[in-house]
A and B are shown apart, each in its own frame.
Chain A
Amino acid sequence: MLTEAYIIDFLYSCIRLATPLIYCTLGALVSMHAGQINMAMEGILLTSGLTGVLVSGFTGNLWLGALGAFAGGIIISLIMGYMNIVIDANMMLCGISMNNFASGGTIMLLFAVLNTKGSTAALKSLTFPEWDVPLLKDIPFAGPVLSGHNALTYVAFLMAIVTYLFIFRTRTGLRIRAIGMNPNAAASVGINVKKIRFQAYIYSGVFAALGGAFMTMGYLSYWAQNMMGGRGFIGISAANLSGGNVLLGTVTAVLFGATSALSIVLQTLNLKPELMQMLPYIATIIGLVVISVAQKRRDDAIVRKAAMHVRNEREADEAKEAETNASGHA
């Protein structure tokens, strides 16, 4: 049962299934650093997936398809930004609504363009190629796991580095972090908070759009209605778990990808698929609980330390006072 080929297969699909989650996590991280939760991730995946497929199908050009996916992600981000930032609708409500907007909007767009309902199976669209990494592919065990993935999978890991550099090494990234930490302070030094918040939404839309492109132009070769199955939300959770750390976020996304892979493996083992499909969602909830327990522990430890420090200081002061009193009497 647990042969080497089987394990290789499993690890390979972990990475494959983690790819869209990594993109979503990166997108969510960018908006998280700006102090906002981009709940529309799921809608961005869905929209960018469709626009990518449509553009690549009609133009026959993969790069234009990728641009189409970006456009789809950016449009959803723009509407979200307008509703949330310009006319001040609640962020969570906007996100939830944008997901439904995308769910209905994509079906309408598909119908308007192709006159079909449900999926783009009828349209011959392009997919990103799979890459055999030279040298790496010849290494036993690691080769078949890490090589032969879709190009966008490698781009995902590359984007993790790009995201890190973007958030922590660029001017825009600094501004995003500044408004996330304290918008008033940022405004007081002349940062246009609304503009940066808008930008953060757009960047997070761009990152997530690659995830949508992967889903419809790599993982599958077509778009189907409501196909994302909560991947956007899992990405948001992974970003939450990482506490803003890009490396940790990527690792978490891969772990969530592993639960999806596990769920698929268990389904093929004749276990009830409905129960096994629950796994990634349950893992997400457990993850959120575990991390908040850990955070609470850490916060408590800090508070304890601070309290101890204060007490020590007070005791030292009292001792000193007693000493001076004693010497005064003498």
Chain B
Amino acid sequence: MDTLLFSLKLSLQVATVATVFVVIIGLCTSYLLARRNFPGKELLDILLTLPLVLPPTVTGYYLIVLFGRNGLLGRHLYAWTGWSIMFTWYAAVLASFVVALPLMVKTTRAALESVDEELIRASYTLGHSEFRTAMKVIFPLAKRGIFAGTVLSFARAMGEFGATLMVAGNIPGRTNTMPLAIYSAAASGDRPQAVIMVVIFTLISGIFLYAANKLTRRLI
């Protein structure tokens, strides 16, 4: 029971924090991809989309290469602070973030690109800066896609397993999110525990999607 509550709480916490970052960074990159031309634009798009098609373990491996204690970036972080993100719940957030971001960017970019160019030009000729135009015209008109991207990202972050296992491990009471706890229970033959968690996870996901649908209809 303790495991269940802990892993449920951790999963929600990880998914929520990851989604906050996904929304902020996803909106900025989608805007750049949709409305600006710069060298390496398509490369950036491919890099951001790769986690969508790669096996999560491959994504996880890259994260180890980058952020591990001896990783390209993680090495410096460890040298300065003596701290490594590996095997903490932050690593679970990082894994969920990287895997969920492409869903946000794909959906949001398409929504931003579908905003009528004439409206954007009208805003400019009425004296509004690019930033204000984005906040007042482009994002509000793309809110349906932005919301859909957010919902998909949260759902993906909740269900993240492979990359999380690689970078955060499966440490009971620390990094065992619900999908990992379910794996442990099933692997160790604790069927009742596995069944309870599977049912709860399914119910929560169902309720979440129901609420998202309802909110979409009210919002738009």
Report whether chain A binds chain B. no
Residues of A within 8 A of B (CB): none
